Structure 1
Amino acid sequence: MTTTMLILGGLVLLAAGGELIVRGAVGLSQLLRISPLLAGLTIVGFGTSTPELATSIQAAMGGSPGIALGNVIGSNVANILLILGISALIMPLAVNPASFKRDSIALGGSALLCAGAILTGRIEWLMGAVLVLALTGYVWWAYRSEARADDDEAHRHIEETAETTPKTHNGWILGLMVVAGLAGAIFGARLLVDGAVTLASAAGVSESVIGLTVVAVGTSLPELIACLIAVWKRHPDVALGNIVGSNIYNVLGILGLTAIVHPIEAPAEIIRFDVPIVLAVTALLLVQLRSGWKISRMEGALLITLYAGYTVFLILR
């Protein structure tokens, strides 16, 4: 099987697996009478990050820390610069100031925690547990504030749950969907990582570069599709919420769980270059959102230009 087939096959299985996991888990949560708001904050939020989780764990266990870490860092950079940029070009992205106060703290704090963990040079299980606990605290905070206020953000999370509700209510079928989704995600991650390692060797570049580009963009495709659908339906707040939530889950949940399963050695080039970049990109997003509480089309074009420059920098460095 060629490298291209490995990567494409892995991405298809990851995307399909993530979708099955989300729909099956949402259906089971309804059978268990779990609140749609809580399901939106946890199941839908974590489910869309399944490709990143499966890929990072597979890479870390396979001795490719550059891909494991590059996948998380690169996905967050791609989410902000590329996916939000494309979405804003189609339609300016408005911000809910009330919810942004909470999520801006969580987004900025998660980026700082991520940077601190990477700068230690080796992310052990204990640091991974700290990251996961921080994510748990964020979800609890968001759930309490949204359940109490019943605001626009609460309605958005409830709508996300409704959109991913499966047609069946059979518990066995829903359970099989989750199991099949997990199997697809695990096998897809293996194909993607194998293809990425082969591509890095053939292209003469580091695994970190492949993780930051090909793997990161590939595992971010579910977020891109979700954002484009949201913009097409004229729900720009949903598009923005998807990216902010995804970035928080990536650095706290994905990086944390991966480190718990297997320690991650941080490559020197990621510490030196990409940690400052992800912090700068996150800060740029926060500043953009504060200026008028929206991302304009011109700002979207700027984000895409910056991502093109970042990609060129990665290839040439």
Structure 2
Amino acid sequence: MTDLLFIILGLVLLIVGGNWLLKAAVALSLRLAIPKIVVGMTVVSFATSAPELIVSIKAALDGFPDLALGNVVGSNIANLGLVLGVTVLLGSIDVKKSFYTTDWPVMMLASILFFVFIYFDGVLEQYEGVLMVAFLFVFLVYLLRFQKPAVEDEMPEDDELLPLYKIVLFLGLGGVALWGGSELLINGAVGMASAFGVSDRVIGITVVSVGTSIPELAASIIAVIKKEKAISLGNLIGSNIFNLLAVLGITSIITPIRVMDQGLLSSDIFWMLGISFMVLPLVFIPKGLRLGWRDGIVLLGLYIFFVYTTVT
């Protein structure tokens, strides 16, 4: 009963936090005169990736490396399969050229870099973490200086310019609400999953990863409802990049992460690479530079199949 209460309270906090974060992100993009997708890929992505960072560092330090790795790999799969799938089912997203010239390639490069670092020796070493964080820093500098909007803004006229103190307040409250909501949700979900005797890897790749992807889901659905699709797509792509380069990079700098359950290397990591790659052809098929409800069904179907094969 306590676990169920944690899950419900966690969801409420995540939805409220997602709304606050979105308000702050839109106002920040206006105040700094930078594209909303850049804000989505930096400020919003970092805030919604905070739960993954906290969970992964704590799991690695507590001696549960599979929970740390499963959390990030599972979150990246959930962000694109579950979150993006649900988001485009609610409303199509028109995509611009810079999505496939910058944003998607960087996500794939980050995914491949992680794969190369961990697949052959089963360990993410400290120096590899330093290289991942350095790559993230270079990407962020490029993004802030050169990135152009990758998504059309449908309703620019309804954007609200907030005073700086309100932006900081909404960012702070949104981030804290997302973190607190994720903590409650994870505690409740892991408590329920552990009762069924599920392994660390399976808990990490399914329950915890979905729990830590709820902030992205909340922020993206709210963004779509409010016609802020640039923030929605940028948040998801940016979050996957942050998860790999910042979350696993910083965690492995603090303590090397060793794979314990080989299922992560024989199955999960290939699912992550596959679903990350799938987003590109879906952007062009059936209608060029658009993600629509058909793509949502494909992504959601892939995610459901992934969870089914992992749990059974």
Query: What is the aligned partner in structure 2 of residue 133 from structure 1?
Result: 134
Deviates more, 1:231-240 or 1:90-99: 231-240
Aligned to 1:152: 149
CA distance in 1, matches of 2:71, 2:110: 16
Q: 1:229 aligns with which of 203, 222, 225?
A: 222
Aligned to 1:299: 295
Separation in 2 of the partners of 1:13 and 1:302?
A: 30
Q: Check the 8 A contact 1:25/1:174 in 2, yes or no.
A: no
Does residue 241 of structure 2 align to residue 244 of structure 1?
no
**Equivalent position of 2:306 in the other structure:** 310
How far does the alpha carbon of each residue in 1:187-212 deviate from its partner, in whole angstroms, 9 at most, with x for none?
77666665555444321221111111
Normalised by the length of structure 2, the TM-score is: 0.79
Once the two structures are TM-superposed, the CA of residue 275 in structure 1 deviates from its matched residue by: 0.7
Q: Alpha carbons of 1:145 and 1:11: their partners in 2 closer, same or farther (altered >3 Å)?
A: same
Normalising by structure 1, report the TM-score: 0.78
Measure the CA separation in 1 of the matches of 2:105 and 2:95.
15
Partner AA of 2:275 in structure 1: V
Distance 1:239 1:25, change over 3 A: closer
Distance 1:19 1:56, change over 3 A: farther
Tell me, which stretches of 5 or more residues in structure 1 are unaligned? none
C-alpha distance 278-296 of structure 1, shift in aligned 2 (>3 A): same
What's the RMSD between the two structures over aligned residues? 3.5
C-alpha separation in 2, matches of 1:121 and 1:269 = 11
* Cα drift, residue 42 of structure 1: 3.4
Please say if 1:203 is aligned against 2:203: no
Q: Please give the alpha-carbon distance, in whole angstroms, between the structure 1 residues aligned to 2:201 and 2:267.
A: 11
Letter in 1 for 2:83: I
Is this contact kept in 2: 1:89–1:297, CA < 8 A?
Answer: yes
Of the three residues 273, 282, 288, the one matched with 1:288 is 282
Q: How far apart are the structure 2 equivalents of 1:12 and 1:98?
A: 35
Q: Which amino acid aligns with 1:88?
A: V
Alpha-carbon spacing, 1:254–1:18, altered in 2? closer, same or farther (3 Å): farther
- For the Cα contact (< 8 Å) 1:92–1:295, is it kept in 2? yes
| Amino acid aligned to 1:109 | L
Question: Equivalents in 1 of 2:144, 2:257: separation in Å?
Answer: 31
Aligned partners of 2:197 and 2:5: how far apart in 1? 19
State whether structure 2 residue 257 is matched by structure 1 residue 261: no
Q: Distance in 2 between matches of 1:204 and 1:118?
A: 27
Determine the C-alpha separation between the residues in 2 that align with 1:219 and 1:138. 24
Q: Cα distance, 1:74 vs. partner? A: 0.9
Query: Closer, same or farther in 2 for the Cα pair 1:20/1:57, shift >3 Å?
Result: farther
* Cα separation, 2, equivalents of 1:154 and 1:92: 11
Instruction: Note closer, same or farther for the CA distance 1:297–1:42 as it changes in structure 2 (3 Å cut).
Output: closer
Cα deviation, 1:40-88, whole Å, max 9, x if unaligned, reads 6533331221111111112212222222111111111111111111122
**Count of aligned residue pairs for this structure pair:** 301
> In structure 2, what is the equivalent of residue 113 of structure 1?
113
Deviations 1:203-231 (A, max 9, x none): 12211111111211111112112221222
Change (3 A) 1:208 1:15: farther
Match of 1:83 in 2: 83
* Structure 2 residue aligned with 1:43: 43
- Pick closer, same or farther for the CA change 1:193–1:91 going to 2, 3 Å: closer
Asked if the contact 1:67–1:210 (Cα under 8 Å) also holds between the matched residues in 2, the reply is yes
The letter for the 1-side match of 2:125 is E
The answer to whether structure 1 residue 67 and structure 2 residue 85 are counterparts is: no
Kept after mapping to 2: 8 A contact 1:19/1:47: no
Instruction: Report the secondary structure of 1:203's partner residue.
Output: coil
Structure 1 residue 184: deviation in Å?
A: 7.2
Gaps of 5+ in 2: none
Which range is displaced more, 3-12 or 253-262? 3-12
2:95 and 2:150 in contact (8 A); partners too: no
Q: Alpha carbons of 1:239 and 1:26: their partners in 2 closer, same or farther (altered >3 Å)?
A: closer
